Amino acid sequence: MTGHSARWKLFKFLKVLLFSVIFSITVLFLVATVRTFTFDVDAGLQLGKWENTTAISLHLSPQQRKNLLNTSLTSAIQIPTVSFTETNVNTSALREFDGLLRKVFPKIFSSSLVQHEMVGNYSHLLTVPGSEPDLEPYMLLAHIDVVPADEADGWDAPPFSAQEINGFIYGRGTIDNKQSVMGILQALEYLLERGYTPRRSFYIGLGHDEEVNGLHGAANIVKLLKSRGVKLQYVLDEGLAVLDGVISGLDGPAALIGISEKGQATVKLSVSSAPGHSSMPPRESSIGILASAVKRQENPMPRLFGYGPERGTFEHLAHKFGLPLRFIMSNLWLFSPLLSRVLERKPDTNAFVRTTTAVTMFNSGVKINVIPSYAEAFVNFRIHSAQTLQEVLELVESTVSDERVKVELVNGFDPLPISSYDENTFGYQIIKKTVQSMFPQLTVAPGICVGNTDSRHYKDITQDIYRFAPSWFKPGDPQRFHGVNERISIQNYEEIVLFYFQLIQNNDVRKLPPPHSSQHEL
């Protein structure tokens, strides 16, 4: 009887436990389902009553469109403003580019409104004072220099020809970043031609060495602004773009506005040992010891998805996915571990999940029959927002775990602070409004830049830095960035000019309208 009673109590316990599990799963499923069909954090200020500031519209004649392309963008692409290293930039091309700007934009360089200064010999700082000096200024950034390009790599057109093929202009700098350089200045030129005077002051900074860390261009522009006590409402630089068909499963294109960028570290690993003859090799050579240490570095850094701004990207896009992806994206509080495992399978999405590791250089040996006494390798890390430079270095040391291997930090910096992107954030909402007024079909979301930009130098004079230009990327286009067949469509360049034309005027609002949530209180 006692045994029967014990079994009955165990059965009742298991029954209650099973019921509790089923009930919990059912509740979780119902909560997740309701959230899936109601979750939309991208609404923002769509229903807000904005102050109308776009007083000047832009209508271009066929001849103006032709001039916009041939005398502006193509001429800029044809000048090879290549940066090779921090100490090796094409200074003659930079001087030629300066002459082009003065020729193509006569209103800017003759206007009594615009103050122009050369900084670091080849960079440009333009100051455009507003009629209401109590409004905090903002700043638009772009860079003049480009990375090297060789036609022998397989270009369909010479990389500095600006040749048109099927409605696209091919050339180095078409998407990185002369489209923004010329787009910003062309927009300002058009506004000045139409008698525009801003209410809110703004600056334009055009760096000449962004591709080699911006230490002479952007860094000196910031130094000059700091000496004048300048504080900025926000900064807008290159970075993310409009992705059309690039994100699998997303219904329609999305504009991603970069709210931060990853940090970076370059670490040198080296081994010194006694040299010898190849006929009598030691058990372990300097190359072998180093190769083992480098191999250990290929073990991925910890998954950190959900601990940085990348989670906000997917949550803002959730309502534009079809099932079952919408169910997952709307409930990352539950499915973050699952999504992170999926994302890490591809190199381009793995960058969202963790600090990435890339062994980029390995040097050793002087002769075929000599055991080298020295070997070195360089490893480049792009640091996730949830980690610090110091934490990465400590992980490298623990992973190497060999006293014979010397670990040295060559250079590096922490991830950039995360800029605000809520309904009360001026810069983000102005950019978002401009994007949505031009492209109503777009979904706008915050994003993280896996590369680095000149904007990182500006963190001491503003709290909010955004990284975006409305360049349209379709499948395969992201690989053109620093790659072969970099190009931009003629239509897209016109859209970029119009974007900055409207953005400058949109910045003239004194304040944002009340947020969506405060207008519809129950």
Annotated catalytic sites, by residue? Answer: 145, 210
Question: ∠ at Cα 499 (496, 504), nearest 5°?
Answer: 130
DSSP 54: -
Cα distances from 496 to residues 68, 73, 472, 482, in angstroms, run 12, 12, 10, 20
116 marked ligand binding residue:
no
DSSP H or E segment with residue 92? helix 91-104
211 marked ligand binding residue:
yes
DSSP H or E segment with residue 123? strand 123-128
Determine contact, residues 447/316, Cβ cutoff 8 Å.
no
What residues pair up with 64 in beta bridges, in sequence order?
Answer: none
Determine contact, residues 446/312, Cβ cutoff 8 Å.
yes
508 marked ligand binding residue:
no
The residue length of the chain stands at 522
Distance CA 207, CA 218 (A): 5
Q: How many other CB atoms are found less than 10 A from the CB of residue 61?
A: 8
Residue 44, both tokens:
């923002």
Q: What is the DSSP code string of 402-449?
A: -TTEEEEEEEEEPPPPPPP-STT-HHHHHHHHHHHHH-TT-EEEEEEE
Distance CA 138, CA 63 (A): 33
Query: What stretches of 200-355 adopt beta strand conformation (E)?
Result: 202-207, 235-243, 254-261, 263-272, 276-277
176 marked ligand binding residue:
yes
153 marked ligand binding residue:
no
Binding annotation for Zn(2+): 143, 176, 211, 237, 482
Binding annotation: 143, 176, 211, 237, 482
